[in-house]
Amino acid sequence: MNKKGAILGIIVISIIVGVVASMSSSTNETFDVDMTRTHGSISTAMGSPILGDPLAPVTIVEFGDYQCHQCHNWFVNTKPMIMRDYIETGKVNLVFVDFAFLGRDSPKAAQATYCADDQNKYWEYHSSLYTSQESKIDNGWASSERLKAFAFNLNLDMELFNECLDSEKYSKRVQYNSQQARDNGVRGTPGFFIVDSDYNQTQIGGAQPFSVFQKILDSMI
Amino acid sequence: MIEILKVIFSNLKFIVISVIIFLIMMFSLLLISEFIFLEPYFVTHIPSGSELGFILITALSGLSALVISMNLFRIINLKNSKHKMSGSIFGTFIGSAAGACSCGPIGFAVISTFGTVGATTTAFLTNYEIPIRIVAIVILIITYFTTIKSLKTECDIPN
């Protein structure tokens, strides 16, 4: 009887500990997002803020990893022309959704961007990661210390940023985004979906040149 | 050296073999290294900063085509050992693997299938892509010269 009581007690305590732990983890991860935001078949609710005019008729959804050198190639070679000709003119907007699969520092780097977003510096931080990217995966360029250094360089409130990054506040958000990539058939980074207001969408795989984007965007606008 | 190449490539069959190997290697490597895209349109481009990668792929494809067809000549015509063939296949294989595992579909498939081990392998092959390709080219050059030396003896061609 005593044995049974002890086992029952352990089970009850385990359940209570489990419930308390899950409650504390969910309170850790409350953040302000529009869960209804979708672009075509993709839920972009947990993705980046919209870059450009939110009412633009066409959206580019980019799936990327901060350690992916092809994403860096696209960021350097193609994105500036898309910014100039389509985003800054209000024809197109862009949403970045994390597909953090390349190395152990990839999810942490993605989480850091949302910690920067808490202080309204998402895109500045996003750009600083791609401009600071080093060619080697997991060599320490995106370690926690370096991620904090990037935040410091952008004059973010370091107490808030460090607390956010160290607590892994946005861990589930990044996982959700990576799952969106898998669910939508993305098989590598960068991967793009160009979605118009009628929910027609075209997929582009890889760091393709500006001419490809130009052709598709012009046909949709 | 020129005499040996003349002997081998006087046979149209070996010219065709080497051209096919070169085209298949070049196309495959350019595709997986994202210098060529097939969808949504066929497009080729060399992003700035990737020029060295393109040159190494061209060198690797050319050497593979040359060395593999020379060794096929040895095996088919002279019924010789396949030992040197393995050197050329090895050089070709590691040179190709270096660029395949990156953030593209092959890297993604390797990571999805093999988890942490796949991620470590992919990271290694991506981080050392250029040195690995250079090592592969060196292996192919060594195989080329040893094959020439063997053929000189086997075909009894004077220096």
B79: left (phi over 0), alpha (psi -120 to 50) or beta: left
- Across A38-58, average pLDDT: 93
What six digits make up the tokens of B126?
Answer: 């991506």
Looking at the predicted complex, does its ipTM rise above 0.95? no
Higher local confidence (pLDDT), B32 or A31: B32
pLDDT of residue B82: 61
pLDDT of residue B56: 92
pLDDT of residue A24: 46
Rounded CA-CA distance A192/A195 in Å is 10
- Across A56-62, average pLDDT: 96
Name the pLDDT band for A61 (thresholds 50, 70, 90).
Answer: very high
DSSP assignment of B104-119, as one string? SHHHHHHHHHHHHHHH
Q: Which chain A residues contact residue B126 at CB under 8 A?
A: 69, 136-137
Mean pLDDT, chain A, whole residue set: 89
Strand-pair partners of A92: A58
Classify B84 as helix, strand or coil.
helix
Contact A70 B40 (CB under 8 A): no
The alpha carbon of residue A84 is apart from the nearest alpha carbon of chain B, in Å, by 19
Q: Report all structural domains of chain A as residue ranges with CATH numbers, in order of start.
A: 38-220 (3.40.30.10)
Name the pLDDT band for A28 (thresholds 50, 70, 90).
Answer: very low
Rounded CA-CA distance A27/B139 in Å is 58
CA count, 13 A, side-chain hemisphere, A53: 11
Report pTM: 0.82
Place of tokens 């009850």: A12
Q: Which chain A residues contact residue B123 at CB under 8 A?
A: 102-103, 136-138
Contact A68 B102 (CB under 8 A): yes
Rounded CA-CA distance B110/B95 in Å is 17
Residue A30 scores a pLDDT above 60: no
Share above pLDDT 70 across residues of chain A, in percent, rounded to a whole number = 85
Whose CA is closest to A220, among A204, A200, A193? Answer: A200
Tell me the Cα Rg of chain A.
20
pLDDT of residue A146: 97
Rounded CA-CA distance A63/A206 in Å is 10
Q: How do A92-98 and A58-64 pair as beta strands?
A: parallel
pLDDT of residue B118: 86
Rounded CA-CA distance A186/A97 in Å is 11
Name the pLDDT band for A2 (thresholds 50, 70, 90).
Answer: low
The alpha carbon of residue B32 is apart from the nearest alpha carbon of chain A, in Å, by 10
pLDDT of residue B2: 80
B148: left (phi over 0), alpha (psi -120 to 50) or beta: alpha
Question: Which of A136, A139, A188 is nearest residue B108 as measured by Cβ atoms?
Answer: A188
Question: Which of B37, B43, B103 is nearest residue A102 as measured by Cβ atoms?
Answer: B103
Rounded CA-CA distance B75/B67 in Å is 12
First to last CA, chain A: 75
pLDDT tens across B37-54, in order? 998 999 999 988 889 999
Domain residue spans in chain B?
2-40+51-154
Nearest CA in chain B to A71: B103
